[in-house]
Structure 1
Amino acid sequence: MVTINAMADAWREDLRLSILRLLHEAPGLTLNDSLLTKSVQILGISATRDQLRTEVGWLEQQGTIRCQVLSGLIVAELTERGSDAAKGLASIPGISRPSAR
């Protein structure tokens, strides 16, 4: 039986991986939180901007992204550690592992 907590953890882990993968594909490895929110929604992950910002903050604490605030937007830039996690070369607790394409 799947619990609500297990579902919430899986959602967060998938959202975090999606953020890293989107940044990995972005020009300059950088996107703002507005574009990230729209992009994860297109991928089928229902997340508000506030929820996305929470996970962006968590990813920054893990050293997978660097953030700065510009004109009220959070701009996230992928780090080498984040790139490795997005490609499945590094395993970080709390971030889903990418599946084979």
Structure 2
Amino acid sequence: MSDYLTHMREHVRLIILRALADEPAYTHNDAILTDIAKAFAVDRGRDFVRAEIRWLETIGAVTVRELASALIVTATQRGVDHAQRRLVLDGVRRPSAEG
């Protein structure tokens, strides 16, 4: 995998975790997370975001439940801890000190 693609994947994983950590229930659906990624100049489509959601699920940073054609994604404490700089997850970009 190219360094650029690796960097982009790590970046979108952080975007996902931060977006979830900012929600009171730590939950969004994959369509909203795709739109949030676009707002951060990651416009690779829903399949790309879904792949990164599934990757985050494999490391225990999120849980995923399917509802019709949507994925309902909820951050675990592990995912929130990374977004809030209390834990470092390999493969996920580290949040900046500014927040």
TM (normalized to structure 1)? 0.92
CA RMSD, Structure 1 to Structure 2 (Å): 1.1
- Identity across aligned pairs (percent)? 34
Partner of 2:36: 39
- Determine helix, strand or coil for the equivalent of 2:57: helix
How far the C-alpha of 1:27 sits from its partner, in A, is 3.2
Q: Does 1:7 align with 2:4?
A: yes
Partner of 1:17: 14
Q: Does 1:82 align with 2:66?
A: no
TM (normalized to structure 2)? 0.94
User: How many residues were matched structurally?
Assistant: 98
Equivalent position to 2:48, from 46, 51, 65:
51
Q: Distance in 2 between matches of 1:26 and 1:36?
A: 12
Which sections of structure 2, spanning at least 5 residues, go unmatched? Answer: none
Q: Distance in 2 between matches of 1:70 and 1:13?
A: 26
Which sections of structure 1, spanning at least 5 residues, go unmatched? Answer: none
Partner of 1:95: 92
Larger radius of gyration between Structure 1 and Structure 2 = 1
More helix by share: 1
